[in-house]
Structure 1
Amino acid sequence: DAYTQAQVAFFMGITVIVCIFCMMHLQSAALITAVIVNTAFVIFFASTHNITFIATAASIVLVSIGMLIILRHQYRDFTSLVNAQFKTEQLSNANLMLANRDSLTGLPNRRYFFQTLDTAMNEALLQRSGLAVGVLDLDGFKPVNDLYGHSVGDRLLMLVAERLTTAASDTVHVSRLGGDEFALVIKGDISNEALLMFGKHLCTLMHESFELSEIPIQIGATLGFATFPATADMPPN
């Protein structure tokens, strides 16, 4: 009867609108659903030759077209928002890296070293453990820099950083403080014997010849340690 047909018309119209709304972030799926359902909707009610049903079908089609247009604008705005958020995150990560990384060697810089040291000291206090801080100075770097130029000196610092990185681990943090000065934060075994052995290992790495432009360069290193809380209780100390 007419009431049943009206109920079907109402149900199909609401269903189309709800489906389009639910798939507002899936533009292709919403468009396909609207086309399929509206096509069947129009064919069915056009076959009734009832002016009211035909007008209802036309109204639903127009509403669907309007919703699809709005959906397209919302989808475009949503995509722009996601892209902007992604670019912002990339810029934030890049700025964070620039703020905490040495641009020449790629090692953590002085700023990040003190952040790491402060965090490690707080953890040591909570765990009632200790840590050691080492400062390594390159011996003979200035003559190399003066004799061969700053470009060779920069490449030498990069090779030094690579060798120091081989000694880094979960318990050994390596940073560049600036110039030819590097720093280490060491957790775990910080006994005199362990630090002496580790220090000798690093000095041996620095004494090995560096090959730069087929020029063998020999430098050395001086390394000293301070332990927390035995010999220092604050990062500046």
Structure 2
Amino acid sequence: MWSSFKRWFHQWGSPKWFYERSLVWSRWLGLIALLCIPTSIIWGLFFAPADYQQGNSFRIIYLHVPAAVLAQSCYVLMAIAGLVGLVWKMKVADVVLKSAAPIGASFCFLALFTGAVWGKPTWGTWWVWDARLTSMLILLFLYFGVIALESAIQDTITAAKAAAILCLVSVVNIPIIKYSVDVWNTLHQPATFKLTEKPAMPMEMWLPLLIMTIGIYAFFGYVLFLRSRNEIIERERRTLWVRELVERESVA
């Protein structure tokens, strides 16, 4: 068992192996996203019943909640990739960290934007310095910091180490975001879903949200694999296997 895990773990660290396998994975993830996201949008916008308090304005959760959850998950993934890159010196981990940062930043901005759109009719204002909102804004700045480090430092290895350290130090912001509505007195509502509790909304309202969450995660994986493949080709362009790959594609 342990030897199989070690072999699998080191396979993930091989740029060539990752590049070849990720094509198949990205296709499946793209298909899942293509099925789930439109289904959820149509179901959530046109068929789910209106909320008894918020009316139709609640429908923004079908985009806001998955975007916010993904933005936090992405940063945790970056911290894990940073740890793997620092400890085991795996090139693919550095590639994943760099490739994930712009995607996570985009979803974090989307979560903040849709939250502001929802907050205007619900709270009467676009923005309040609420604990959840403020910690999410800090997360967006952290994403910008990682992207800036990767862009500003010319040496790839040094840039990867700096970004990894930043992610590992600042990942403490993720539990702050998660528990901010429980620890502090905030306007933001508690979590929509909890694994230990029955959903507070009827199935015809939470099921499309679940489908959208699956679709958003699949879309994230699809884009992450595509960006990672491009980054691997850029970093490994002088290696034999990349030159052979380019020759085969040029002949085809």
TM over 0.5: same fold? no
Higher relative contact order (CA 8 A, sep 6+): 2
| Larger Rg belongs to | 1
Which one has the bigger strand percentage?
A: 1
Specify which structure has the higher proportion of helix.
2
**TM bracket (short chain):** under 0.3
Q: TM-score under structure 2 normalisation? A: 0.24
Q: TM-score, normalised by structure 1?
A: 0.25
